[in-house]
Amino acid sequence: MIALNSPETGGMAPHARIALYFLLSACCAFNVSAQETPRKTIWDLRLGEPLSAQPDAGEYQGYACGANGGPPRQPISGFADFARCAPEPGGLREVYFEYDDELEYIARARDLKQELIRYVGTTEKGFPIMVSALLDQDGVLQGLRMVTDARPDQRKDRADSGLKSRANAYLFGGLMAGRFDIEAEVHCQKLKPEEGESAVGGTFVKLDCSKADAASKRSYKLSARFLRKPGQNGRDPRLPTRLTVGEFESSARLEIFAAP
């Protein structure tokens, strides 16, 4: 903190020095609070533990019944409302949720770009994601699900917020593979194109991975896609000189389960 009577103030008038003091205090206060009490993320959930061991419901927002990693369905009040969600084929119930946005709005109000990038939306290393918890009939957290989210691609402030585009979504798979030591040669299967599928600019990614880790008592399922699906083209069939926009799939999906 610069002292009000120090040479660094350049002999400013008292009212100007006071304004500078409050400006610096506000910025520093944000940084300290963000470091001491960062927002909760999916990594704060405790696999294999009951609802009583999970973070308080107020740490997150936007609760809803999940749609197998898709956009939210019926709104609910929190993880404790999981029984209102229909079970998946395996019996688990998916609860979609979003990260708290308080620090994001503080960063916007104070025009702190680095803090905004850190706390914007529900993200992981700049990748917009949809996150959900998978609970069994007894309310024990048995799985975590993360799927890349294409919706923020329509935001006008996407670039300023540091959000990665949908075209790069498949790279989230590589990020998670590195985090959990999932090796392509050992744990993954490179799938061949099905009829009508093709590469995007010479790149074709269709990867399914699975890994069981006895040491951590966790199992992982990871997939990544970067391809054109049947009917999608790089050029408009009606006007070959015109490139299409958004006609491709770019996605990644990670599921982590507690081992029996």
Contact status, residue 50 vs residue 139, Cβ threshold 8 Å: yes
In this structure, the strands spanning 249-258 and 218-227 are: antiparallel
Q: Is the dihedral of CA 122, 164, 159, 115 positive or negative?
A: positive
pLDDT in tens, 123-143: 999 999 999 999 999 999 999
pLDDT tens, position by position, 207-221: 999 999 999 999 999
Q: What is the pLDDT of residues 229-256, one digit of tens each?
A: 999 888 888 888 888 888 999 999 999 9
pLDDT in tens, 95-123: 999 999 999 889 889 988 889 889 989 99
Report the DSSP beta bridge partners of residue 50.
Answer: 140
Regarding beta strands 235-236 and 123-124, do their DSSP bridges make them parallel or antiparallel, or are they unpaired? unpaired
- Model confidence at 159, pLDDT cuts 50, 70, 90, reads low
What separation in angstroms does the CA of 213 have from each of 122, 182, 235? 27, 10, 44
Residue 23 has pLDDT above 50, yes or no: no
Looking at per-residue pLDDT, the higher value among 128 and 30 belongs to 128
Largest Cα span, the chain: 74
Beta bridge partners of 99: 60
Give the span between the Cα atoms of 105 and 160, in whole angstroms. Answer: 14
Among 103-112, 147-156, 157-166, top mean pLDDT goes to: 103-112
pLDDT of 212? 96
Domain ranges of the chain: 1-36, 38-161, 165-260
- What is this structure's pTM? 0.82
Sign of the C-alpha dihedral computed for residues 192, 198, 204 and 210 taken in this order:
negative
Q: Is the pLDDT of residue 11 over 70?
A: no
Does the pLDDT of residue 26 top 50, yes or no?
A: no
Helix or strand run (H / E) with residue 186:
helix 184-187
Confidence at residue 242, expressed as pLDDT on a 0 to 100 scale: 86
pLDDT(227) > 70 = yes
Residue 17 pLDDT > 80: no
